[in-house]
Amino acid sequence: MAGSLDLHHVDAFVGTKSLLQLMGSEWKVHRKLISKAFSWQNLVVMVPSMTSIADDFASVLLKSNAESIDVAPLLKLLTLDIIGATAFGSSFNAIHDAKNPIMEGFTLLLEDFNHRMIEAPFHPGSKFYWLPTKANKLHRATTQSMRQLIDDLVASRMKSTSNETYHDLLQFMIAAAHEENSGVTAQSFADNLLTFLFAGFDTTSISLSYALYLMASHPDVQEKALAENLFITESLRLFPPALVTSRTLEDEVTIGKHRIPRGTTVMLPIYWIHRYDANWGSDADRFRPERHLEDSDDINLSAKDKGFRMLAFSGGPRNCVGMRYAMLETVVVLAVLLQRCVFSVAKDAPPVRPVVSGLVQKPEHGVWLNIQPRKA
């Protein structure tokens, strides 16, 4: 199956040379290059930056005089700063300046993208970015500003002859391209950096929001410091940032008595798959991290089926290329926060309930927590 999104809007948002749009042999070249950039060897080098920014974020939380804090919007600032450091080699400083131009510009573009994706089937005119509307003019100005910043950064790195060493995604992509002699262009580097920002900004902050909520709701888990893969995987199962993904069939498929022709776009309801009894048992709605233990055999599924009952990062050859990065970032952030803070659900906090927000879901009323310093 091929990836499927309304590429007209994706083109306008991140350009035409990212993994989201490419197909066939060109996609394979780029996928190999970016997978190499995301190797464990490279990811480990990013950990000190992630740790430092997460520690700074913990200090900001603990300095707040508020009785309770909605951590959801603050975690967006955290993930933006981590992406800035680990992908661009830049300090966005969003944690200390929420009015950061990068934050404001990207938030505007993301909201515009989500709005157009939702209304596109009903208002075909939303695809015509050249129309002289107020929304299009603002989109064009913001896009040009963001692109200029990224294009200048890419051009500077590709021409650099200095001995300065960078440990970020851009440098790792450039190094991989040289090793592979792939002929990948500056536009491709820029488009994939924007795609990484697009794919990792909202999703990781949403994942962290739900993870902290589940920890605050289960003090026993928090005190055992189970902020590792079992906990994070279970959090992603219950609250996957993306509710739905889609694929376009390259060949005709027959399921039972139903024939689905080639070229059909098939929607995969991730949230439903993650909570379906046949996949996860009668307690599918219950938070139970130990269900992900390797020796757990509570569901009678084939190995192939088990591989596709968990789709937080999609599945198959076009799954999320940044999956290991996202998991590492989540582990590092939660580990740092738990070392310094104790979280509990705020008294009279509104219920944490997912609501659709464009291509993702988020907690409708935020995630309100009490945060206290952890005693040594």
pTM: 0.85
Is the pLDDT reported for residue 273 higher than 80? yes
Q: How confident is the model at residue 299 (pLDDT cuts 50, 70, 90)?
A: low
Q: Is the pLDDT of residue 217 over 50?
A: yes
Residue 178 binned pLDDT confidence (cut-offs 50, 70, 90)? confident
**Residue 25, pLDDT above cutoff 90:** no
3 state DSSP class of 226: coil
30 pLDDT exceeds 70? yes
* Residue 260: CB atoms within 10 Å: 13
**Which pLDDT score is estimated for 180?**
74
Domain ranges within the chain, ordered by starting residue? 7-242+312-373
Kind plus residue range of the DSSP H or E element containing 344: strand 341-345
Q: What is the pLDDT of residues 74-99, one digit of tens each?
A: 999 999 999 999 999 988 999 998 88
Of 54-58, 263-267, 313-317, where does the model show the most confidence?
54-58
Q: Is the pLDDT of residue 162 over 70?
A: no
**7-242+312-373 CATH:** 1.10.630.10
Residues of the chain with pLDDT > 90, as a percent, come to 35
Mean pLDDT for 215-239 is 80
pLDDT exceeds cutoff 50 at 312: yes
Of 63-77, 157-171, 275-289, 313-327, the least confident: 157-171
Q: For 99-138, how does the pLDDT look when each residue is reduced to its tens digit (9 = 90+)?
A: 888 888 888 888 888 777 776 667 777 778 778 888 889 8
Residue 242 parent element (H or E): none
Percent with pLDDT over 70 in the chain: 90
Binding-site positions read 320
Binding residues for heme: 320
CA–CA gap between residue 96 and residue 94 (Å, rounded) = 5
Q: At residue 334, does pLDDT exceed 70?
A: yes
Stretch 181-209: mean pLDDT, rounded?
A: 86
Q: Which residues 6+ apart lie within 8 Å of 298 measured at CB?
A: 281, 291
CA 164 to each of CA 85, 167, 270: distance values in angstroms, whole numbers, following the listed order: 15, 10, 43
pLDDT at residue 192 is higher than 80: yes
Q: Which amino acid is at 320?
A: C
Contacts by residues 126-130 (CB-CB < 8 Å, ≥ 24 positions apart): 127/8, 127/9, 129/12
